[in-house]
């Protein structure tokens, strides 16, 4: 692979302009309602039907919004189309990077996806769109139609391990990249945040675009606090220009 490999490590903050609330930001869901964190915790989800009901209603509300990729997602896709080698490592489960035009093979979803549902009993997997009509029809906690087991979206909840294959691929990208842009992430959740250490240890330049300070700001060559929808496209435009100048002179 020639030229700089740009690794985008994205978190919930990149999707807030699409109408999807973040969790730890200044107005994040978990700051407004600390109990909401239980909806993303496997132990609570599996043990409490009321937690599952609330979780399904929260998912249903987000799907009803039909969120679309925003300027930040589209700018990353534009950078990829320009020929700059780009890989996206995302903590998000919304699929908006792919919707924006990034090929699925270039996106690693560390925390899974809400686009599919899995059975915790028999491991059956199906598109979430097949379960939504059951919610609309009044089922508060739809069970697996094959075995009667508990269904959940194909996301990695607190208390569950990340897919080691996906994490290994992400670490390889972090080691190889010349530039890592951490955007819309608090860099407080591990092992995802540890990818920044891997990138910096490998000599990558770190750029952080986030509304609030992160534990890694001191390692960054550039820290940007401006709105992501305007600041990230500007950063990517600059990287694209640098890449084109380097290619032209090589």
Higher pLDDT, 250 or 8: 8
Higher pLDDT, 125 or 190: 125
Helix (H) or strand (E) holding 237: helix 228-249
pLDDT 10s digits, 157-207: 989 999 999 999 999 999 999 999 999 999 998 899 999 999 999 999 999
pLDDT 10s digits, 51-68: 999 999 988 888 888 889
pLDDT 10s digits, 194-226: 999 999 999 999 999 999 999 999 999 999 999
Q: What is the pTM of this model?
A: 0.90
CATH number for the domain spanning 142: value is 3.30.1600.10
- Compute the distance between CA of residue 20 and CA of residue 14 in angstroms, rounded to an integer: 9
Q: What is the CA radius of gyration of the chain?
A: 19
Tokens representing 142? 């739809």
Averaged pLDDT score across all residues of the chain = 91
> Residue 46 has what DSSP assignment?
H
119-126 average pLDDT score:
97
CATH number for the domain spanning 5: value is 3.40.50.1220
In terms of domains, do 180 and 247 share one?
yes
Beta bridge partners of 207: 181, 222
Write out the residue range of the structural domain in which residue 202 sits.
1-20+69-111+161-250
In terms of domains, do 125 and 223 share one?
no
| Residue 116, SS3 per DSSP | strand
The pLDDT of residue 50 is above 60:
yes
Domain boundary among 101, 131, 155: 155
| Residue 45, SS3 per DSSP | helix
111 is catalytic: yes
Dihedral pair phi/psi, residue 222, rounded to 5°: -155, 130
């Amino acid at each position: 692979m020639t030229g700089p490999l740009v690794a985008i490590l994205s978190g919930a903050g990149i999707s807030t302009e699409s109408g999807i609330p973040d969790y730890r930001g200044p107005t994040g869901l978990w700051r407004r309602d600390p109990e909401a964190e239980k909806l993303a915790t496997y132990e609570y989800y599996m043990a409490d039907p009321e937690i599952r009901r609330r979780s399904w209603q929260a998912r249903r509300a987000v799907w009803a919004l039909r969120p679309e990729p925003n300027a930040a997602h589209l700018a990353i896709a534009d950078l990829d189309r320009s020929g700059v080698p780009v890989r996206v490592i995302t903590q998000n489960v919304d699929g908006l990077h792919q919707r924006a035009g990034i090929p699925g093979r270039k996106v690693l979803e560390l925390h899974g996806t809400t686009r599919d549902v899995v059975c915790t009993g028999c491991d059956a997997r199906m598109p979430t769109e097949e379960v939504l009509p059951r919610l609309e029809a009044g089922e508060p906690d739809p069970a697996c139609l094959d075995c009667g087991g508990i269904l959940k979206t194909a996301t990695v909840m607190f208390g569950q391990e990340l897919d080691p294959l996906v994490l290994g691929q992400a670490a390889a990208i972090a080691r190889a990249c010349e530039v890592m842009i951490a955007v819309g992430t608090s860099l407080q959740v591990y092992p995802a945040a540890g990818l920044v250490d891997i990138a910096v240890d490998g000599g990558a330049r770190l750029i952080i675009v986030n509304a609030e300070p992160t534990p890694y700001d001191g390692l960054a060559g550039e820290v940007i606090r401006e709105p992501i929808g305007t600041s990230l496209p500007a950063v990517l435009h600059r990287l694209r220009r640098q890449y084109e100048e380097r290619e032209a002179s090589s």
